[in-house]
Amino acid sequence: MKQKLIAGNWKMNGSLSANEALVRAVQAGAATGCQVAMCVPSVYLSQVQSLVAGSGIWLGAQDVSAHEQGAYTGEVSAAMLRDIGVRCCIVGHSERRQHHSESDALVAMKAKQALAASITPIVCIGETLAEREAGSTADVVRRQLAAVIHLNGHCISEIVLAYEPVWAIGTGKTASPEQAQQVHALLRAQLRAATVQADRVSIVYGGSMNAANAASLLAQPDIDGGLVGGASLKAADFLSIVAAARS
């Protein structure tokens, strides 16, 4: 059975001193039985790389360029991320789709760049509240995943998929375990149609996961972990989620 993955998304939070305290506290409390990742702002990747070295915690980035190298001012390539020890990278987070107009095609290109550099892309997909209320959740998430499968067909089993209903991110509203499982199951079916290795793919849930709701979400058969925003900034909360993933 594959280990569950709990990935913290720090978003645009942190400072040298706060990062060190947070990483040290998580390291002190985390144990084996669950894969932990910390996706940190790019300026802090080197710092956190030094802090997590040898601990088994994956160093994660929050974005990557869709291009290999060259005249793309301000962007960071997958090879550069790999160079400083990045093991996984969020792509297509809804905040980037919303604030930076990232399309399904661009997200698929970013996943491809990550895979080419041996970085596990954590591909985020999810519907808005309006889309859920219109009954189009399945269509939306299938379309978003299809773009990634289309461009990355033969290595699709190397990705991590994060189902993050947009209406649950940072809002305190969580999908119920049944709502989340329903979507995860249809994503698993879509992956099965694309690869015989679909069961290798971790499909993690994100959206206001916290110490109180993690266990019931993680008990669902197709929920293989969590992508955790707000609660990843508090060591005690993050460690409670990690503990729920190990039990």
Residue 25 to residue 239: CA distance in whole angstroms: 9
Indicate whether 227 belongs to the interface with ligand PEP (CB under 6 A). Answer: yes
Indicate whether 209 belongs to the interface with ligand PEP (CB under 6 A). Answer: yes
Q: Say whether 100 is catalytic.
A: no
Indicate whether 35 belongs to the interface with ligand PEP (CB under 6 A). Answer: no
Are the C-beta atoms of 244 and 210 separated by less than 8 Å? no
Query: Under rule CB under 6 A, which residues in 60-119 are in contact with ligand PEP?
Result: none
The CA-CA-CA angle for residues 146, 95, 135, to 5°, reads 55
Candidates 207, 239, 241, 242: give the one binding ligand PEP (CB under 6 A). Answer: 207
Q: Give the Å distances, CA to CA, from 34 to 1, 57, 200.
A: 11, 10, 15
Residue 19 to residue 134: CA distance in whole angstroms: 41
Q: Say whether 131 is catalytic.
A: no
The one segment of 49-57, 70-78, 162-170, 213-221 that binds ligand PEP by CB under 6 A: 162-170
Residue 195 to residue 84: CA distance in whole angstroms: 31
Collapsing DSSP states into helix, strand and coil, what is residue 27?
helix
Cβ proximity to ligand PEP: between 181 and 208 the closer is 208
Three-class secondary structure assignment of 156-216? HHHCEEEECCHHHCCCCCCCCHHHHHHHHHHHHHHHHHHCCCHHHCEEEEECCCCCCCHHH
Cβ proximity to ligand PEP: between 225 and 230 the closer is 230
User: H helices of 62-168, where?
Assistant: 78-83, 94-99, 104-116, 129-133, 137-152
Indicate whether 39 belongs to the interface with ligand PEP (CB under 6 A). Answer: no
The one segment of 73-81, 114-122, 139-147, 222-230 that binds ligand PEP by CB under 6 A: 222-230
Nearest distance from residue 227's CB to ligand PEP, in Å? 5
Indicate whether 8 belongs to the interface with ligand PEP (CB under 6 A). Answer: no
Residues binding ligand PEP: what is the number (CB under 6 A)? Answer: 14
Q: What's the token pair of residue 26? A: 């998580």
The one segment of 19-27, 112-120, 146-154, 221-229 that binds ligand PEP by CB under 6 A: 221-229
Cβ proximity to ligand PEP: between 202 and 208 the closer is 208
Nearest distance from residue 13's CB to ligand PEP, in Å? 11
Residue 66 to residue 121: CA distance in whole angstroms: 12
Nearest distance from residue 93's CB to ligand PEP, in Å? 6
Chain residues in the site for ligand PEP (CB under 6 A): 9, 11, 164, 169-170, 206-209, 227-231
